[in-house]
């Protein structure tokens, strides 16, 4: 492998002008040392390097700002009468709110009026 001089080797910004290896990021102070050939270079090896980026902001309704349809469900839907409006469909979700040796708490949500009630299931 013949050694190439800086004048004879065409390189892209951010790559070692001596061996062509990608260079580590430039710190806030000091020079850059190539991992491969151990040559040290000043910040000019990054001249001409351009970085472009785009920041995408979420729309306002991403976090629940949009209105939900009255029939939308917040989980699995079961046939269960709502104690508030007597609708026959409710969605449910479960959570372990107590210690592991006790049952889960089931939260039912009416698909029509969004009334929520819970049941605690205890084990013996």
Contact in structure between 25 and 34 (CB atoms under 8 Å): no
Q: Is 37 annotated as a binding-site member?
A: yes
Residue written as token pair 């839907």:
77
CA dist 31 and 101 (Å) reads 61
Q: Is 85 annotated as a binding-site member?
A: yes
Q: Is 82 annotated as a binding-site member?
A: yes
Query: Which class for 112: exposed (0-12), middle (13-18), buried (19 or more C-beta within 10 A)?
Result: middle
Task: Identify the CA nearest to 94 among candidates 56, 121, 55, 57.
Answer: 121
Annotated binding site: 16, 19, 34, 37, 82, 85, 110, 113
Annotated binding site for Zn(2+): 16, 19, 34, 37, 82, 85, 110, 113
């Amino acid at each position: 492998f013949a050694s190439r001089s800086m004048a004879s080797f065409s390189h892209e910004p951010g790559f070692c002008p001596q061996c062509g290896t990608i260079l580590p990021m430039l710190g806030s102070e000091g020079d850059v040392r190539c991992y491969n050939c151990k040559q040290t270079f000043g910040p000019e090896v990054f001249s001409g390097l351009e970085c472009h980026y785009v920041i995408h902001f979420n729309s306002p309704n991403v976090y629940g700002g949009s209105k939900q349809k009255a029939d939308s469900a917040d989980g699995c839907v079961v046939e269960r009468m709502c104690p508030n409006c007597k609708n026959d469909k409710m969605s449910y979700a479960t959570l372990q709110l107590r210690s592991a040796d006790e049952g889960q708490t089931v939260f039912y949500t009416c698909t029509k009026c969004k009334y929520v009630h819970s049941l605690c299931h205890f084990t013996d």
